[in-house]
Amino acid sequence: MLTSGGDSPGMNACVRAVVRTGLYHNLEVFGIVRGYAGMIEDDIQPMNSRSVANIIQRGGTILKTARSKEFRTPEGRKKAYANLRKRGIDGLVVIGGDGSFNGAQVFSNEFDIPCIGIPGTIDKDIAGTDFTIGFDTAVNTAVEAIDKIRDTADAHDRLFIIEVMGRDAGYIALHSGISTGAEHILIPERKTDIEAMLRSLEEKEKRQKLVNLVVVAEGDDFGGGNEVSKIIRERLPNADVRVCILGHIQRGGAPTCLDRVIASRMGYSAVECLIEGRHNVMVGIVNNRMHYTPLDKAVKATQKISEEWLKIVKILAS
């Protein structure tokens, strides 16, 4: 088992579930340190029940994580396979995002080793699952921060631009923006009508509604919060504008109950899949039931952003 790509809160709960379910079935379980990089460098450790004690509540990942360029080469994958073979490892669980699943898919095609993917990313941008491990924690961290920003925005009558994570995905922006009453939400999946936004902010200024929150995903059309602030300042020179970039605090911290539960269910299911011979799938949860998507279809989902949600933002933020 390995964790790969950006870490996400709940990965540890998932590692624990994989280890303990494997041991329950009398399997030998190994943890690969630093993702695919550790597989190539032979940084692989046997895990027992105690190795995963006292981690269910911790953010980050005890297995560490990395993005490996070498694993993208056939030579790198060959070395990685040799390290698995010499330990008699005959199944792989990969906890990560779609990039990590691509790697797993290529690897299992080349070497005939069954791989199971578990969606672990704060971005929630994976097709075939309603949840990804870490999203709920990250979005609640953003909500807590934005609520605090609203207090100071209100005290000073300020317009705040808050940048949240999401290079390619607007789910954190959308959920945190709706739940904190943001006036505008800018996401990578939709082209922003900047003129309409500026007109609406001008109109609010005229009627002395000076406290405004604009939530921007880092990968929006304009390149994040600082860029959006330049455009707003130019058009509204009298507005008292501040920018807050939440950044990596969204990736850390104790996982929420929801993230711990889905991580435990997915980790358990991944091992069951390997045992039952349901290979090369990503384990997801859809309508509260386990759902299995072939690894090559477990790609970035960018089209699920609902028009209705965007309409709700407009109506509620008047």
Q: Is 123 a catalytic residue?
A: yes
206 by DSSP, 3-state: which? helix
**Closer of 218 and 220 to ligand F6P (Cβ):** 218
d(CA 159, CA 229): 10
**118 lies in the site for ligand F6P, by CB under 6 A:** no
Which one of residues 15, 30, 84, 123 is an interface residue with ligand F6P (CB under 6 A)?
Answer: 123
Spatial contact of 259 and 221, defined as CB atoms under 8 Å apart = no
Spatial contact of 89 and 79, defined as CB atoms under 8 Å apart = no
Structure tokens at 12: 């540890």
Quote the least distance from Cβ 168 to ligand F6P, whole Å: 7
Structure tokens at 258: 């929801």
Catalytic hit among 7, 98, 123, 125: 123
**98 lies in the site for ligand F6P, by CB under 6 A:** no
Taking alpha carbons only, the member of 2, 13, 89 closest to residue 37 is 2
| Number of residues forming the site for ligand F6P (CB under 6 A) | 10
Sign of CA dihedral 291, 294, 296, 297: negative
User: Looking at beta carbons, which residue is closest to ligand F6P?
Assistant: 167
Q: What part of residues 67-86 is at the interface with ligand F6P (CB under 6 A)?
A: none
Q: What part of residues 29-48 is at the interface with ligand F6P (CB under 6 A)?
A: none
**165 lies in the site for ligand F6P, by CB under 6 A:** yes
**187 lies in the site for ligand F6P, by CB under 6 A:** no
Candidate ranges 13-21, 115-123, 143-151, 191-199; the one touching ligand F6P (CB under 6 A): 115-123
d(CA 114, CA 55): 27
Quote the least distance from Cβ 170 to ligand F6P, whole Å: 10
Tokens 């029940």 map to which residue? Answer: 49
Q: What part of residues 258-297 is at the interface with ligand F6P (CB under 6 A)?
A: none
Count of alpha carbons within 13 Å of 12, Cβ hemisphere only?
19
Relative to beta strand 289-294, strand 281-286 is antiparallel
Binding mask 203-222 for ligand F6P (x = CB under 6 A): ---------------x----
The catalytic residues are 123
> Which residues of this protein are in contact with ligand F6P, per CB under 6 A?
6, 97, 121-123, 165-167, 218, 251
